């Protein structure tokens, strides 16, 4: 998905699908977190009730609890690594031309990127039909929704 967004060569259905996936993730993130917390509490309850409060030597619940905790430790480790490796970018605009560049770049690199963006004219979004005809993208809001409705 990231490569498709960065290449800027999406057709209308791919854009719609990416937006729907993001919406779906936002809607269900609270239920996922709630489900995870309930499972953590349940496994801790099982561990305490079966191993600490009783004198049985039942190691299966301890094993399950440790596996569950290790899953979260690995998940947190991956998130921390991802956050550290994430590139910080700044958007610099000059007139109607905007460029996203990594932070802490010298002024010379900023000016070179702005000149390159001005000379290339930016990326054009095109919708190509099955008959290889290019559709106009300068529609008002209602026309855009009509095109979207017809495509689905």
What's the pLDDT tens digit per position in 90-107?
666 666 556 666 666 667
pLDDT tens per residue, range 58-85? 666 667 777 778 778 888 887 787 777 6
Going by C-alpha positions, the residue among 75, 123, 129, 79 that lies closest to residue 100 is 123
pLDDT at 14: 74
Q: Count the Cβ atoms, other than its own, within 10 Å of residue 66.
A: 13
- Is the pLDDT score of 49 beyond 60? yes
Cα 134 to Cα 7: distance, rounded to the nearest angstrom:
19
SS (H, E, C) 79-129: HHHHHHHCCCEEEEEECCEEEEEECCCCHHHHHHHHHHHHHHCCCCCCEEC
pLDDT at residue 124, as a whole number: 47
Domain boundaries, the chain: 2-85, 87-121
Q: Which residues contact 91 (CB under 8 A, 6 or more apart)?
A: 98, 99, 100
């Amino acid at each position: 998905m990231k490569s498709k967004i960065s290449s800027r060569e999406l057709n209308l259905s791919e854009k719609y699908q990416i937006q729907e996936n993001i919406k779906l993730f936002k809607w269900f993130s609270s239920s996922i977190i709630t489900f995870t917390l309930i499972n953590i509490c349940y496994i801790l309850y099982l561990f305490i009730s079966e191993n600490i409060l009783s004198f049985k030597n039942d190691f299966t619940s301890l094993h399950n609890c440790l596996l569950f905790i290790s899953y979260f430790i690995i998940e947190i480790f991956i998130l921390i690594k991802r956050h550290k490796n994430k590139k910080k970018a700044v958007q610099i605009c000059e007139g109607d031309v905007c460029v996203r560049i990594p932070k802490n770049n010298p002024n010379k690199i900023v000016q070179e990127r702005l000149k390159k963006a001005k000379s290339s004219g930016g990326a054009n979004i095109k919708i190509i039909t099955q008959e290889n005809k290019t559709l106009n993208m300068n529609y008002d809001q209602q026309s855009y929704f009509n095109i979207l409705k017809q495509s689905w």
